Every structure is written in C-alpha cells, then in structure tokens.
Amino acid sequence: MCNNAFIRVKAKILPVMENTGISMGGFYHICSDGNSSAVLFRNESDFKAAMNRLAICTLHRPVEIYAFVLMGNHFHIVGRFASEDDGFAYAIEFKRLTGKYTTDVYQEKASLSRLPVKVLPIHDADYLRTVIAYVVKNPTKARMEMFYDYPWSSGSLYFSSRSKVPDLGTVKLADLGAKQRRQLCRSRRDLPDGWLFKDGIILPQNYVAAAAVEQLYRTTKSYMYYLSMNKDEEIERDYGDWNTLQLPDAELRIARMVLSREMFGTDNIRDLSAPDRLRLARRLRRKYLCSKKQIARIVMLPYEYLMKAL
C-alpha cells in the first residue's frame, strides 16, 4: 500500500430507513488500521487535541458525526456526509491535522504518513446500527473501560442526560478570547460561539448527532441489544486486508472449483444460478477473507450486487 493511502467505495443513495424517518445515503465508516504499530495518541493531551480536531473538521464541509472512538493506535468515525467526496475529504483532513500535530509535538511525520485509512460506505439501517455499536464498544472490548465511561468517544451521549445537560464547569467558546481559542484548539478557524468547552476539550455533544442516533435505535433496549451482539468478525472482514495481501486470482479460482464441486457437483461456474453463486461467494469470503471486489470477479457476479448481499 502506498503512503497516504485511502480506500473508498461509492455508496448508493437508499430509501428512508424503516420506522426512523431518516433517509439513507451518505453514511460512511472511517477507520484506521487497529493492528498498526504506530501510536497515534499517547497521553491525555494527545487525546484532547484529537477530540478537538474531530470537531474542527466538521466545520470544513457539511457533516453529521453519528459516532466515534479514539484508541491509542487507531480510530473509528461514523458520519453522514453531503456527498462521497465530502466523506473522503473529512477523512483526509482529520489525518492531515493528526499528522501535523504528531510532527509538531513528536517530529514523527513519516510514521503517520504510512498509516492506512479506509472510508467504507454503509448501505442499510441495520448495518448502520451494527457499526455504531461496534465503534462505541471498542474500549469495552479492549478491556479498558465500559463504553459509557470512556472519555475519548461518543459512547456516553446516547440515551443519556450528558447529550442534553451541560456538564458542570463548561464554558462557551464565546467567553474565551481569540488567542485563548487558538491556543486551546490549535486552530485559527472561526468556531461557533455557542459550542461548549471543558478541560481543554470541545465537548462532543456540540457536533455528534446523538438525537439522530437515538431515533435510529428508537429505544434503549434496542441500543443495548445491538451492543450485546457480536458481529465484530463480520465488520472487520469488511475492512479487507489492511496490507492488501490476498490470494492470487488463479489460486482463488482453483479454490472456487473445489468448493463448487463439493456444494453443487460441478466445477463450472457457468452452470450455477445467481443464488448458487452467491452461496459460493459467502463460503469463499468466510474461508479466505478475500475482498468483495475479488470475489465478484471469481464468481462472476456484479460487484454492486455482491456489495449488498455479502
């Protein structure tokens, strides 16, 4: 993978999500490699600065942040953007500002420039709920803290008074002088006067669409249900291989022929109907963790169809 690489896949605009009133389309999961050896955020100051970058990046273009989490060596952001290009640009800007911070503070530009970041479309309401839950419970899965106590995420905002009632000790950015704002936020951008600020952090309730997330889940019970589900493997499989390592097509075609013979009694892909090819694609996906694009080639199905079905 080349330096500064981003991966994106076009998302289609889909209908209004069932029973939510929220129109689908423009939702993306932005994530960096959780297996990376690079340390992005080393201490409390790094995390605070990153929280502020998340907020500042929302001012560059139309965006709604639905969920995020910052871990020591990676991050996840779920957002809704006006266009695919806006989602991609948000990811680039957050990475650029993070790289600038790392360079200024630690003089380690090269290590971050090689950090791969993916921009993955979210096509339906159920998967959006699943991805948000996956992002929120990252700290719990890592046995660090319960998701609602972890300070570097949006996990404390949903179905909680924290998204509606300001914390004690908060101040409005309007109450700070221009120099104070620049020093605290490391930015010269004009920030909304009404944004709340505490302990060096632009509070996430200023820019996270917590009410929309609650509308998406509808009830606390539904939210907790998705948090309790274990679909980590399914989501992480959608990342593909961060190092873009995969079986060569020739070897995967041989594997396809063997599986097809086992499942359908023929090794000729042209003998299989579309539903049978989809079943074969799912087996290949589970067994070899191939990208959806590669599987689409191997089983001779349209990539757009496979994106929705797998």
Sheet containing 27-32, strands listed edge to edge, beginning at the edge strand earlier in sequence: 6-8, 117-121, 27-32, 75-81, 63-70
Parse the chain into domains and list their residue ranges.
6-238, 249-309
Indicate whether this model's pTM tops 0.75. no
What is the predicted pLDDT for the residue at 53? 93
What Rg value do the Cα atoms of the chain yield, rounded? 21
Give residue 19's pLDDT band: very low, low, confident or very high (50, 70, 90): very low
User: Which is nearest to 94 in space by CA: 75, 122, 114, 72?
Assistant: 75
Which CATH number among 3.10.310.30, 3.30.70.1290, 3.40.50.300, 3.60.15.10 corresponds to the domain 6-238? 3.30.70.1290
Q: How many CB atoms lie within 10 A of CB 116?
A: 20
pLDDT tens for residues 179-205?
Answer: 777 776 666 677 788 888 888 899 999
pLDDT tens for residues 90-113?
Answer: 888 898 888 888 888 888 765 566
- CB under 8 A, 24+ apart: contacts of 175-178: none
Q: Which two tokens stand for residue 135?
A: 């992002």
